[in-house]
Chains A and B, each alone.
Chain A
Amino acid sequence: DGGITQSPKYLFRKEGQNVTLSCEQNLNHDAMYWYRQDPGQGLRLIYYSQIVNDFQKGDIAEGYSVSREKKESFPLTVTSAQKNPTAFYLCASRRDRTNTEAFFGQGTRLTVV
């Protein structure tokens, strides 16, 4: 079955630690996106990539980093510079950047301990 796989489902981060969230898709989509969801707020865009080896900052990129070395993979690193990382993180992909459906993974819940 084609889809988007995010792992892990739950992640706990200690203060000052970097953690990496995995996002893999087998839909052969060009564009991939990372969103953050906080209670009572809509999803906000962190980073996006429209093609391999290229990515752009979204609205809340500070404290995060990404890479796009392969078409099917778009990992997100939450660095120690992100002061309030506790949230639900969602990865999405689209066949291309225009007029195509966005498909989402099942999310990773990150908690600072």
Chain B
Amino acid sequence: KQEVTQIPAALSVPEGENLVLNCSFTDSAIYNLQWFRQDPGKGLTSLLLIQSSQREQTSGRLNASLDKSSGRSTLYIAASQPGDSATYLCAVDSSNTGKLIFGQGTTLQVKP
């Protein structure tokens, strides 16, 4: 059974710092991995989708990498800003149905 883990559960950094969020999964047979952002009381916003054949994806200050063989993905945020404060969730698609299995998220606080 696929399990997804995100460590740490919470992270606090000063503004301007570069940071890395971690996601690990137990079964390397995945179709894709997706990173989301969730603000308090809101829905999820898609940040990046990495297909199983890809090693990384970039969008602005965000870069996500995927190492299927080791069951790991990282989300790199460059030059963090207070507006980046949110919960970041990773999810893997390991079936042919589009179902996502989520980690519990990392809550990020960027202090001015």
B-side contacts of A48, CB under 8 Å: 97-99
Contact of B51 with A by CB under 8 A: yes
A-side contacts of B104, CB under 8 Å: 40-42
Tally of A interface residues using CB under 8 Å: 31
Assembled-state Cα–Cα distance A6/B100 (Å): 19
**Quick one: CB contact mask for B97-110 with A, threshold 8 Å, 1 for yes?**
11111111100000
The reply to whether B98 and A105 form a contact with Cβ atoms under 8 Å apart is no
Stretch from A66-74, A78-86, A94-102 that touches the partner: A94-102
The reply to whether A99 and B51 form a contact with Cβ atoms under 8 Å apart is yes
* Interface range, B side: 20 to 34
Q: How far is the CB of B12 from chain A (nearest CB, A)?
A: 18
B-side contacts of A98, CB under 8 Å: 31, 93, 96, 98
Q: How far is the CB of B93 from chain A (nearest CB, A)?
A: 8
* Chain B, range 23-69, C-beta contacts under 8 Å to A: 31-32, 34, 36, 41-46, 49, 51
> Which residues of B pack against A, CB within 8 Å?
4, 31-32, 34, 36, 41-46, 49, 51, 89, 91, 93, 96-105
Given known contacts A102-B100, A106-B42, what 12 new A-B pairs fall within 8 Å (CB)? A41-B104, A42-B104, A43-B91, A43-B100, A43-B102, A48-B98, A58-B99, A96-B98, A100-B98, A101-B49, A104-B36, A107-B42
